[in-house]
Structure formats: C-alpha cells, structure tokens
Amino acid sequence: MKKACIFVENMYEDMEFWYPYYRLQEAGFEVITAAPEKGITYTSKHGYPAESDIAVSKVNPGEIDVLIVPGGYAPDKLRRYPEVLELVRKSYENGAVIGTICHGPWVFISAGVTKGKKMTCVTAIKDDLVNSGAEYVNREAVVDSRIVTSRTPADLPAFMKAVLEEAEKK
C-alpha cells in the first residue's frame, strides 16, 4: 500500500488539510498526519481539530510516496522545525511526490527545494517564491519534477488530480 504523509500544525487551512487527506484515502493510500509532536490535537484557522499520528522526526522518508503541506498559517510554524525541512528534502530525494498549496511553499522554500522549479502559491508569498529561485506560474496547479503546487482552496480539485497523477508514475 502506498503511504502519504500530511503535515499538521495550528492554524492550518481546513480544506487544504482535509480534502487531500480524504482524497488520498479514497485513492488507496495509507495516510498519516505528522507534526512536531505525536498525539497532539492541532486546531485549524476555523477551529477544526486534527490529531497528529506521528512526530515528524519519526517518519521514515524512504516509506513516503506522497507528502503534503497544507496552507493557512501553519506553514509559517512548520518551516521553523529542522526535522520538518529535513523530511521534505529527504522525501523528495527518495522519489516522493511533494505537494503544497497556498502559504505551504514557505516550507519548501525553507527546505531548499524550490530553486529552478516552476511553482505557484497564494499571491501574498509570490515574492518569497521568486526570491528563492523558483519561477512563479499563475495556474491552479503547477507540476515540476514531482513537486505539485497550487494557489488557494478553490484549486484543490486540480491540485489533487495532479498529485494523484504524479503518484501513479511512481
């Protein structure tokens, strides 16, 4: 069974966590939620809870087929944890599809995986993405070398379609 990992932290964007969570389950993935600490309940921007299954430091990047970083304000917290950045880098290096939406590219920027890639994001962090060496493309979903990015919750159908198509290629 393929395995997917979705990060969670306080102030995550509800739809950008739950839509991928259920779509990946529907597609037959074992989905785990990873956070700085295991067993903690994190609260979304709108007050919806999500509990972490595992501490990020305990995730084996060699077992991850898909890694998702939801947006909201959680990425600003997540990018401050070295083990989060390491998991993003190592998962990508091991061939995982890594996807992010909205403010989530902040984590990819801090992980150092954006240089030379075509990507998109919410316009509020477009300059951050460009300054990291990425080429900004204003489309609902952008795929470049197993990195899938989208702009806002309205792009979730295109985002997950692209994530699942990339995962099929593995």
Residue 169 has pLDDT above 90, yes or no: yes
Q: What is the pLDDT of residue 137?
A: 98
Task: Find the domain containing 44 and state its range.
Answer: 3-168
What pLDDT is attached to residue 142? Answer: 98
Confidence class for position 74, pLDDT limits 50, 70, 90: very high
Give DSSP secondary structure letters for 130-163. HHTTPEE--SS-EEETTEEEESSGGGHHHHHHHH
- Which has the closest alpha carbon to 98: 2, 4, 1, 22? 4
Q: Report the CATH number that the domain containing residue 45 is assigned in CATH.
A: 3.40.50.880
Mean predicted confidence (pLDDT) in 61-78? 97
Residues belonging to the active site: 102-103
pLDDT of residue 163: 98
102-157 pLDDT, tens digit per residue, is 999 999 999 999 999 999 999 999 999 999 999 999 999 999 999 999 999 999 99
What is the average pLDDT across 64-92? 98
Confidence of residue 170 (pLDDT cuts 50, 70, 90): confident
- E-strand ranges in the chain read 3-7, 30-35, 41-43, 49-51, 54-55, 66-69, 97-101, 118-119, 135-136, 142-144, 147-150
> Has this prediction a pTM greater than 0.95?
yes
pLDDT digits (tens, 9 = 90+) for 5-64: 999 999 999 999 999 999 999 999 999 999 999 999 999 999 999 999 999 999 999 999
What is the tally of structural domains in the chain?
1
